[in-house]
């Protein structure tokens, strides 16, 4: 595991954007697994800034978002498709034919999930998977208790997750109950993983995920076993980690 601890959220966003930019420069047709949520917003801003400086070209990039709510329109305020347009896609030269989301409009969820997995495999698998971590340790929408062998599937969100997703614009009753997420096995098959966490409220779960036992109670703990994991934390999110030297020695 490579561990980078930055002073603050801005530093985290820059560090993460640079890692992404390096990978895109090395392989312009990189297959990127994208995450949403609050944590990567700054990273996307930094990437847009790098693009505007002519430093990154998105034209050959292929993306697969890690999750999407089930059966909501693209213009729903919680839609991750909408989020990606707002924070990245509309600002850069990405080809919309190369961006993928689990379709939410088809009613046969199993067929949708199989097709998503097939498309990922058809592109040779995910090269770099970006991940945030939920307060309960979820990755994508793989909630606690998810099996390690899971692939893309329809999941029911925990009430805790739904409550956190409600916001000024979306009341709790409007938060969808189901989503489609890449499975843990699919995520672990990515060739490289970049995990981001920011803020004191993530400090305990970061410690459990990185230094606790590998357990389905904390889905992110499986990442300890990934052969190419980079973790970027800001100082607040790293506050509860013990023996940083031991962690770094794993590099
Ligand atoms: P957040 O979400 O970045 O909004 O905290 C992370 C996640 O749930 O994966």
CA gap 237, 22 in Å, rounded: 24
Give pLDDT, residue 72.
86
Residue corresponding to tokens 């029911």: 156
0.85 cut: is pTM over it?
yes
Give pLDDT, residue 32.
98
Give pLDDT, residue 104.
65
For residue 240, the number of C-alpha atoms closer than 13 Å in the C-beta half-sphere is: 17
CA gap 47, 88 in Å, rounded: 8
Residue 202 CA to ligand 1 center (angstroms) comes to 10
Q: Are 44 and 151 in contact (CB under 8 A)?
A: no
Residue 197 CA to ligand 1 center (angstroms) comes to 8
178 burial class (0-12, 13-18, 19+ CB within 10 angstroms)? middle
Residues taking part in catalysis: 67, 136, 138, 143
Give pLDDT, residue 75.
84
Give pLDDT, residue 250.
59
53: which residues sit within 8 A by CB, 6+ positions away? none
pLDDT in tens, the chain (251 residues): 999 999 999 999 999 999 999 999 999 999 999 999 999 999 999 999 999 999 999 999 999 999 999 988 888 889 999 999 999 999 999 999 999 998 766 678 899 999 999 999 999 999 999 999 999 999 999 999 999 999 999 999 999 999 999 988 889 999 999 999 999 999 999 999 999 999 999 999 999 999 999 999 999 999 999 999 999 999 999 999 988 877 776 55
37 lines ligand 1 (CB under 6 A): yes
Query: Among 9, 16, 37, 67, which is best to mutate for testing ligand 1, by the most ligand atoms less than 8 A from CB?
Result: 37
Q: How many CB atoms lie within 10 A of CB 131?
A: 27
Residue 30 three-state SS: coil
Give, using CA atoms, the residue closest to atom 8 of ligand 1: 134
């Amino acid at each position: 595991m490579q561990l980078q601890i930055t002073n603050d959220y801005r530093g985290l966003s820059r560090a993460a954007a640079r890692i992404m930019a390096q990978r895109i420069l090395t392989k312009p047709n990189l297959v990127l697994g994208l995450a949403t949520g609050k944590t990567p917003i700054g990273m996307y801003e930094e990437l847009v800034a790098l693009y505007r400086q002519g430093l990154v070209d998105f034209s050959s990039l292929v993306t697969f978002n890690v999750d999407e709510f089930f059966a909501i329109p693209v213009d729903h305020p919680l839609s991750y498709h909408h989020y990606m347009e707002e924070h990245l896609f509309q600002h850069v030269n990405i080809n919309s034919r190369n961006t993928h989301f689990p379709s939410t409009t088809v009613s046969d969820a199993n067929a949708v999930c199989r097709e998503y997995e097939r498309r990922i495999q058809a592109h040779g698998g995910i090269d770099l998977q970006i991940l945030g971590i939920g307060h309960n340790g979820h990755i994508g929408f793989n909630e606690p208790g998810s099996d390690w062998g899971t692939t893309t599937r329809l999941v029911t969100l925990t009430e805790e997750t739904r409550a956190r997703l409600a916001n000024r614009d979306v009341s709790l009753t409007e938060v969808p109950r189901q989503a489609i997420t890449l499975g843990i096995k699919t995520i672990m098959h990515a060739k490289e993983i970049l995990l981001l966490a920011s803020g004191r409220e993530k400090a305990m779960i970061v410690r459990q995920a990185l230094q606790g036992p590998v357990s389905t109670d904390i889905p992110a703990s499986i990442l300890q076993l990934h052969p190419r994991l980079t973790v970027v934390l800001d100082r607040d999110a790293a506050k509860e980690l013990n023996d940083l030297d031991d962690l770094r020695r794993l590099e």
